Amino acid sequence: MTPTLDAYVLLSAALFAIGFLGVVVRRNTLVIYMCLELMLVAATLALVAFSRFNGTEDGDVFVFFILTVAAAEVAVGLAIIVALFRARHTVQVDRLDSLRH
C-alpha cells in the first residue's frame, strides 16, 4: 500500500505551518531565515508529490527553479544579515526597530 496524495499534501502543509510558526514566534534573524527555508522546502514537497501523482514533469522542473532561487536568496540574505550585524551589533529583530512608528 502506497501513501496517497492527500498524505503528502497534508505533510507539506504541516511543514509549511511549522515554518510559518517559527517565522512569527522566533526573534533571531538567522532562525527566522531557517524557518523561511523550511517553508520553501515544504512547497517543493507538495510540487513533487503533485507531479508524481499526475504523471507530469512540470512540478519537478519548478522544484529545480525553487532550489536555485533559494540558494540565491540565502546568499543575499545572509550577506545582508552580516552587514546588519556589523552596523547594529545585533541580529535580534526586537532591537532592529528603526522603521517602527
Partner 1 sequence: MNQIAFVSLSALTLASALCVVLSKNAVNGAMCLLLCLAGIAGLFVQLHAYFLAFILVWVYAGAVVMLFLFIIMLLDMQGGQPWRFRPLQALSGFVAAALLVTGLDLLAVRGRLASGPPVGHGVGSTLKLYAYQLFTTYLLPVQVMGFLLLIAMLGVIVISRRTGEAEGSK
Rule CB under 8 A: say whether 2 interacts with partner 1.
Answer: yes
The dihedral sign for the CA sequence 5, 9, 12, 14: negative
Closer by beta carbon to partner 1, 2 or else 98: 2
Q: Taking the complex as a whole, how short is the minimal distance between the CB of residue 100 and partner 1, in angstroms? A: 15
Q: Taking the complex as a whole, how short is the minimal distance between the CB of residue 98 and partner 1, in angstroms? A: 16
Q: Are 70 and 44 in contact (CB under 8 A)?
A: no
SS3 52: helix
Residues 12-31 binding partner 1 (CB under 8 A) are 13-22, 24-28, 30-31
Rule CB under 8 A: say whether 43 interacts with partner 1.
Answer: no
| Interface mask toward partner 1 for 51-90; x: CB under 8 A | xxxxxxxx-xx-xxx-xxxxxxxxxx-xxxxxx-xxx---
The rounded distance, in Å, linking the Cα atoms of 14 and 6 is 12
Rule CB under 8 A: say whether 93 interacts with partner 1.
Answer: no
Q: Taking the complex as a whole, how short is the minimal distance between the CB of residue 66 and partner 1, in angstroms? A: 10
- Distant-in-sequence, close-in-space partners of 74: CB < 8 Å, separation ≥ 6: 33, 37
The dihedral sign for the CA sequence 45, 48, 53, 54: positive
